[in-house]
Homo-oligomer: A and B are copies of this chain.
């Protein structure tokens, strides 16, 4: 069926749940927003591309969900509370059922976090989706990648590796056991750690989300902080589902180098460590996996032995193979 740009916007994207701070929403040349003088504005933008960030046969609802989830994860890593989003939707054709699915997935997550769609663009072209989110954080309370100090403890939320394992389940069309389905959902429906990020504001010395793989992202955090880190493979949170589907070695590989988990990697000064157990674990399980060192680089050990890293994270332009 043929739908015009204005039909698409009116049918699938306009007139959703209002926010009082949206003074002028979708439909004009731009949106007009009321800002908070007592907060700082936090802005993130992420793009997902058909066949690069998700398999080409991914359901439209999962693509819509993902486009926002990866952005909310960035806000979570800053300790910010989400408020608004804009959407650029580049589509090969205007298919009503695809658009219905996409908007359902997008707004399922948006409504959960009170995020209003305030504008964007709908154009014809290859399937590329860009979302920008904006949110609020208290002055001087945002989290960065650059605050880690030698001696700080390195934590990760939840479990890492399951999303990459889930992508393997999809790509290899593995049997749909309960564990395989669980892994697949971890790839398709990552849960942005917004509540955890808010709780981390007064606890963490540095934070970032794990999108390109634990080691790659920890390396970025260390570079930004001018330090290094030692992590112990035996401390990594265990995934029962991953262990049921993959060999032990592959599980460690996925945990260290698999991307797309959207968990939060963070560092905590030793004296703040009791607060992690007391204040964070009610929000989401957090596991200490290592320590920050003064030496540059990330050292990976298993007990007392160096652990040889078989995979590295994903860099779109480095010519390296995708890790997942």
The residue in chain B whose Cβ has the minimal distance to the Cβ of A90 is B128
Chain A 61-97: CB-based contact to B (< 8 A → 1; otherwise 0)? 0000000000000110110100010111011011000
- Report B-chain residues with C-beta under 8 Å of the C-beta of A50: 125
With most chain B CB atoms within 10 A of its CB, the pick from A46, A120, A208, A317 is A317
State how many residues of chain A have any CB contact under 8 Å with chain B: 75
Contact B317 A32 (CB under 8 A): no
Contact B30 A35 (CB under 8 A): no
Interface check A249, CB cutoff 8 A: no
Q: Point out the residue from B28, B43, B123, B207 that lies within 8 Å of A316, measured CB to CB.
A: B123
Contact B47 A43 (CB under 8 A): no
Interface check A126, CB cutoff 8 A: yes
When chains A and B are docked, how far (Å) is the Cα of A5 from the Cα of B80? 25
The residue in chain B whose Cβ has the minimal distance to the Cβ of A36 is B35
Contact B49 A125 (CB under 8 A): yes
Query: Which of A141-149, A250-258, A285-293 touches B?
Result: A141-149
The residue in chain B whose Cβ has the minimal distance to the Cβ of A211 is B29
- Report B-chain residues with C-beta under 8 Å of the C-beta of A146: 28
Contact B28 A224 (CB under 8 A): yes
Q: Point out the residue from B37, B80, B132, B224 that lies within 8 Å of A27, measured CB to CB.
A: B224
- Report B-chain residues with C-beta under 8 Å of the C-beta of A47: 88, 90, 121, 123, 130
When chains A and B are docked, how far (Å) is the Cα of A12 from the Cα of B9? 34
Contact B32 A41 (CB under 8 A): yes
Contact A23 B40 (CB under 8 A): yes
Contact A29 B208 (CB under 8 A): yes
- Report B-chain residues with C-beta under 8 Å of the C-beta of A93: 317
Contact A120 B45 (CB under 8 A): yes
7 tightest A-B CB contacts, nearest first: A37-B37, A49-B125, A30-B44, A124-B316, A29-B77, A126-B126, A94-B317
Cross-chain pairs A/B with CB under 8 angstroms, 19 sampled: A4-B315, A5-B318, A28-B224, A31-B44, A32-B40, A32-B137, A33-B43, A34-B41, A35-B35, A35-B40, A45-B87, A45-B119, A45-B120, A47-B88, A47-B123, A50-B125, A52-B124, A86-B132, A122-B317
Query: Besides the contacts A30-B80, A34-B40, A52-B125, what 16 more A-B pairs have beta carbons closer than 8 Å?
Result: A2-B317, A4-B315, A6-B315, A23-B40, A30-B42, A30-B43, A30-B44, A30-B75, A35-B41, A44-B119, A47-B123, A49-B90, A49-B123, A88-B130, A94-B317, A126-B128
